[in-house]
Structure 1
Amino acid sequence: MNLEVHTQFLVVGAGPAGLGLASFLGQHGLGGLVVSKASGSADTPRAHSFNPFAFGTLLRNECMRDLGIEDQALQQSVRGHSFQSMRWSRSMIGEEYGKALGWAEHPSCIGNAFGITPCEYAEFSQSELEPLLVRYASHHNFNVRFFTELVSAQESGSDGAQTGYICTIRDNITQSTFQVRTQYLFGADGARSQVARVLDFKYISKPSGGKACNILIRADLASHMHEGRHAALHWILKPDGISFFGLVAHLRMVRPWNQWVLVGFGSNGSDPFEGLTPDSPELNNCIREVIRNEFVDIEILRMDHWTVRERVAETYSIDDTNVFVLGDAAHRHPPAFGLSSNTCVQDAYNLAEERQPVGAILVREANNGLLAQKDIWQSVGMFAATPEEGAEQLAKLSGPSDEGVAHREKVHDAMKRIEIELHSWGAAYNQWYESTAVYLADEEHGRPEIVGDPILQAQVTTYPGSRLPHAWLDIPTRRKKISTHDLAGKGAFCLFTGIGGGGWKEAAKNIANSTGVLINVYGIGYGLDDSDVNRDCHDNREVEERGCVLVRPDRFVAWRSKRLVSNCQGKPTRVLDSIFSIIQD
């Protein structure tokens, strides 16, 4: 007899996207099954930099904050402004070509770091994130099975009032198969997604950008890492190197100062370490040359080869079905801009087709970021044909000639362009949605233009489809201030209003009584629920005191009314009816 399991939600893949989705569903009392072909959670650091907009909702910051596990994650994170920068040098402890200050370390970014979010950037490896999410999901109605893979899936047709999928699942321990009948199927199974393959998702792709290799190593460099060398990424460029000529390497600190990931890029887009094993003597010698220390003990723990991709799904779901892709199954790109796991988590937080344009922009900008790095490599001589030619080009950087001046200016300009990546608050923040889940009928004008570079400048607005602006609030009954983000989210709609906007509160109460749709209402102002202690809410709300802002459960603005209207009792009902088509006037 074939075993058949019934579940409402089947999540294929147990990375940040799949486990994040299971956690968010489980948070709201929903249950299901997660299966993963891997034998366990990530055993290498992989993705590492978390911006506030993923940390927040999932930790304490915007994504992780919603689950209530942000503090746990921050305790395991490496934090501090000096770990947000990037440096380039001839070796790990050698002469530097330059350094770029990033995120909250650069003076131009401080306003964003403390003004647009209650959260912070942190170095938090995927290998530490996933166990947190496994624990949360498995404690909140989801079973998580590793070493278990999807073989096939087909639409089951009508099942009473429901449609769904019949999936064949293989247990790779017992080599037995069983079937799962599920109402919803989610492909969070990475770049080689079986869900996407068997259900024929279509992708927009560009040619591969080359190959690379990650090497996880253990090496104690504490004696070399004075404060001036603290950075998130250390690019090692030695154009006159003989061993592995043309190698571009970067070292990323995993744990200070004894665990690292070395990422190697070869000449002409090749994998410099192809064919080598962790025991290869030349690999060990190469790492010593990169560090420039012949005596440090080096332990090579793992090698992972990978390909630079530029690929995004045409759609994140198939029309009239309950199947979705998210995370790397939906978009594949290099790690530039540090938005990989961040976007995976945000995909899970808002599983909707309106996310597709966000993924497309990310894929484009991440590849542009890698191209900007290549300009630096070329500027210092890494594309030279021989070590002698590389040494000659490198010597020009310290020469007094006009040619030397031109080369130094070229390196400077390339690093300034890289700073765009390290100051890209706009790329992380400016993710707005245009869909039927955003109500624009009351807007007198279109979305306001972003002033300046949209990659650098964060647009703080309550225009529908935008992120809820962060503002610190003071609640008399609490002993600490909280953010508007702390009031929103958690699976419920939220409505903000001010003095004189009490009619909106009554309207929300009537909706809850008649439909069961919960709308938490907060009055902000003197004598109301919360005090706008820093006046930030006043500056960013863009509606009158008697107006209102309706926020979706994912903390994006669904609708706003700039002023109190005569039909305020019926208006929110009509808005939600338009968004969901489930609430009747």
Structure 2
Amino acid sequence: MNAYDSDVLIVGAGPTGLALAVDLARRGARALVVERADGLFPGSRGKGLQPRTQEVFDDLGVLDAVRAAGGRYPVGMIWLDGERAGEHRMFDETEATEAEPYHEPWMLPQWRTQEILLARLTELGGEVAFGRELVGVAQDADGVTATFAAGAPVRARYAVAADGGRSTVRRALGIGMTGETVDPNPVLVADVRLTGLDRDNVHVFPPAGTEGFMAVFPLAGTEDFQIVAQFPEGTDIDLSLDSIRKVVATRSHLSPDDVTEVRWASDFRPRAAMADRFREGRVFLAGDAAHVHSPAGGQGLNTSVQDAYNLGWKLGAVLSGDAPESLLDSYEEERLPNAADMLGLSTQVHRGEVRRGEATQQLGLGYRGCSLAVETREGLPSEALHAGDRAPDGIRGGVHLFDAFRGPHWTLLAVGTDVDLPDLTGARTVRIPAYEAYGTGVFLIRPDGYVGWAGATAEALAEYAARVCPAMRWRA
């Protein structure tokens, strides 16, 4: 029972599972992704990549491909009785800064995001086993054994459920999910080919009579459009081509024949729910397996990718022997509160209580007050950079910080001070002049780009390093 087929078994080849596999592969961990379907998810349910996720993709080595394949969100155009009646801004615009170089969501259909992540995983030597439907999971003190509808079982040291809101793994573990209905009105979402609308705008058709709203998005980097249409409570939505043609013709000035093809279609009832816990022994929940949400505000896919990013470096450090297994306890400690906040925010955006914009960019999310965030400086104002916060970008003294942080290492950063710094194995040491985004001091930046430890000097850093990552020891 101690012969492992993989270090980590990842169930589900969506953005969560693929991002985690990429992160583990670049750390030298053996990860196997298994997917019930015969190929990648074909639709674009998730299509907006928030600024923080773009930073994550920069670190994972896929941002150039993401930017090349997608595009900006067009301005919304409101239609009334077949006439253009005015513009609608989907989100409040913010300015890029040196510390926050990405300032707007980037549109990329989910299927294309997955293709890019899979290509990166393949480049790193990873793999996905398609057509493998998990039917059972068992664990003991040494590992996890997964069984499938066909084929041999898989034995791994850890497993991650990234298999969506109806997660088979979560149910097999007996982990409950608590939540509420955000909106009783069901919603159609479909990727289609159509004529009669330009690709320079998101086309918005307000509710009329008993019909709900409809919005038509030109999907950046493709020839497709996405239709999102709301229906009255209790409607049984028909996903056929003829039915979708009727919806479009009823709610817009287009004719049924303008919809030439339906490439993917689904329906959902907006709901916000979260798993009661994100870990059961050697099995972790991530992405929609841990939290489901209203798509309003574009938070779900992004929060899911960041679940993977948080878990990846921790699993990698434990698997390599660089950190104690207790480090894995911090995954739920850090991600569960963030997921809860995301669910609340998505619900508020859905109900029109919060505007998309700065609140939905996820740049302000962090881990202050958690066990891996140790702030030793006293008297800092709340708006100052603290341990637990996202580490800002910037260029000082010829050093581009995101370039210095990029990769699976820790970074020991001295800002505006010439105090002595230890020589740490597994950490890159960087000195820059004073920079207002940091203030002055010494900062130990985690592999996922958050400040783990901060102090005026490095005097108390040894205790933190010994607790969190003993392999990051002082070199003689």
TM-score (norm 2): 0.87
* Structure 2: distance between partners of 1:203 and 1:121: 29
Matched, 1:469 2:392: yes
1:430: which partner in 2? Answer: 364
| Code of the aligned partner of 1:90 | L
Residues 460-488 of structure 1, C-alpha deviation per residue, up to 9 Å, x if partnerless? x420000002223462xxxxxx7422211
Q: 1:33 to 1:426 in 2, by over 3 A?
A: closer
* Structure 1: distance between partners of 2:417 and 2:338: 37
Q: Identical aligned pairs, as a percentage?
A: 21
* Structure 2: distance between partners of 1:257 and 1:430: 31
* Structure 2: distance between partners of 1:524 and 1:184: 39
User: Which consecutive residues of structure 2, in runs of 5 or more, have no partner in the other structure?
Assistant: 312-330
User: Which consecutive residues of structure 1, in runs of 5 or more, have no partner in the other structure?
Assistant: 56-61, 158-162, 171-175, 373-416, 450-460, 476-481, 513-517, 526-536
The question of whether the paired residues in 2 share the 8 Å contact of 1:465 and 1:556 is answered with yes
Matched, 1:217 2:151: no
The one of 273, 294, 318 equivalent to 1:311 is: 273
Residues 234-253 of structure 1, C-alpha deviation per residue, up to 9 Å, x if partnerless? 3311424xxxx323222122
Q: 1:499 to 1:206 in 2, by over 3 A?
A: closer
The one of 272, 285, 309 equivalent to 1:325 is: 285
1:246: which partner in 2? Answer: 211
Q: CA offset at residue 347 of structure 1?
A: 0.9
Q: 1:289 to 1:436 in 2, by over 3 A?
A: same
The one of 283, 307, 310 equivalent to 2:244 is: 283
Q: 1:491 to 1:296 in 2, by over 3 A?
A: same
Q: CA offset at residue 130 of structure 1?
A: 0.5
1:522: which partner in 2? Answer: 430
2:347: which partner in 1? Answer: 367
The question of whether the paired residues in 2 share the 8 Å contact of 1:573 and 1:583 is answered with no
Secondary structure at the counterpart of residue 491 of structure 1: coil
The one of 89, 96, 104 equivalent to 2:85 is: 96
Q: CA offset at residue 288 of structure 1?
A: 2.7
The question of whether the paired residues in 2 share the 8 Å contact of 1:336 and 1:421 is answered with no
| Code of the aligned partner of 2:80 | R
* Structure 2: distance between partners of 1:326 and 1:437: 20
Secondary structure at the counterpart of residue 148 of structure 1: coil
Secondary structure at the counterpart of residue 97 of structure 2: helix
1:394: which partner in 2? Answer: none
* Structure 2: distance between partners of 1:426 and 1:265: 22
| Structure having the larger proportion of residues in helix | 1
* Structure 1: distance between partners of 2:388 and 2:470: 18
Matches of residues 309-458 of structure 1 in structure 2 within 5 Å?
309-318=271-280, 321-351=281-311, 352-353=331-332, 354-372=334-352, 420-425=354-359, 428-433=362-367, 434-440=369-375, 442-445=376-379, 448=382
1:235: which partner in 2? Answer: 204
2:129: which partner in 1? Answer: 145
1:302: which partner in 2? Answer: 264
* Structure 1: distance between partners of 2:230 and 2:372: 43
Matches of residues 481-496 of structure 1 in structure 2 within 5 Å?
483-496=400-413
Q: CA offset at residue 197 of structure 1?
A: 0.7
* Structure 1: distance between partners of 2:247 and 2:279: 45
The question of whether the paired residues in 2 share the 8 Å contact of 1:314 and 1:356 is answered with no
| Code of the aligned partner of 2:6 | T
2:116: which partner in 1? Answer: 132
1:42: which partner in 2? Answer: 41
1:386: which partner in 2? Answer: none
The question of whether the paired residues in 2 share the 8 Å contact of 1:337 and 1:369 is answered with yes
Secondary structure at the counterpart of residue 189 of structure 1: coil
1:169: which partner in 2? Answer: 148
Q: 1:202 to 1:238 in 2, by over 3 A?
A: closer
* Structure 2: distance between partners of 1:486 and 1:100: 33
Q: CA offset at residue 582 of structure 1?
A: 6.4
2:227: which partner in 1? Answer: 262
Q: CA offset at residue 492 of structure 1?
A: 0.9
Q: CA offset at residue 5 of structure 1?
A: 6.2
Matched, 1:548 2:442: yes
The question of whether the paired residues in 2 share the 8 Å contact of 1:218 and 1:259 is answered with yes
Q: CA offset at residue 572 of structure 1?
A: 2.1
2:463: which partner in 1? Answer: 574
Q: CA offset at residue 127 of structure 1?
A: 0.8
Residues 47-98 of structure 1, C-alpha deviation per residue, up to 9 Å, x if partnerless? 111112111xxxxxx111112221111111123xxx254454336x534365
Q: 1:339 to 1:124 in 2, by over 3 A?
A: same
1:181: which partner in 2? Answer: 155
* Structure 2: distance between partners of 1:279 and 1:38: 23
| Code of the aligned partner of 2:466 | D
Q: CA offset at residue 445 of structure 1?
A: 4.6
Q: CA offset at residue 145 of structure 1?
A: 0.9
2:315: which partner in 1? Answer: none
The question of whether the paired residues in 2 share the 8 Å contact of 1:447 and 1:463 is answered with no
Matched, 1:76 2:69: yes
The question of whether the paired residues in 2 share the 8 Å contact of 1:20 and 1:348 is answered with yes
Secondary structure at the counterpart of residue 490 of structure 1: coil
The question of whether the paired residues in 2 share the 8 Å contact of 1:85 and 1:422 is answered with no
**What is the aligned-residue RMSD (CA, Å)?**
2.6
Q: CA offset at residue 315 of structure 1?
A: 2.3
Q: 1:347 to 1:84 in 2, by over 3 A?
A: farther
Matched, 1:293 2:254: yes
Q: CA offset at residue 10 of structure 1?
A: 0.2
The question of whether the paired residues in 1 share the 8 Å contact of 2:396 and 2:435 is answered with no
Residues 432-484 of structure 1, C-alpha deviation per residue, up to 9 Å, x if partnerless? 113221113x14257716xxxxxxxxxxx420000002223462xxxxxx742
The question of whether the paired residues in 2 share the 8 Å contact of 1:436 and 1:579 is answered with no
Q: CA offset at residue 522 of structure 1?
A: 0.9
2:454: which partner in 1? Answer: 560
The question of whether the paired residues in 2 share the 8 Å contact of 1:86 and 1:102 is answered with no
* Structure 1: distance between partners of 2:196 and 2:358: 30
* Structure 2: distance between partners of 1:349 and 1:257: 28
1:413: which partner in 2? Answer: none
2:56: which partner in 1? Answer: 63
Secondary structure at the counterpart of residue 151 of structure 2: strand
The question of whether the paired residues in 2 share the 8 Å contact of 1:53 and 1:428 is answered with yes
The question of whether the paired residues in 2 share the 8 Å contact of 1:250 and 1:262 is answered with yes
The one of 377, 395, 418 equivalent to 1:501 is: 418
The question of whether the paired residues in 2 share the 8 Å contact of 1:438 and 1:579 is answered with no
Q: CA offset at residue 254 of structure 1?
A: 1.1
* Structure 1: distance between partners of 2:360 and 2:107: 20
Q: 1:181 to 1:337 in 2, by over 3 A?
A: same
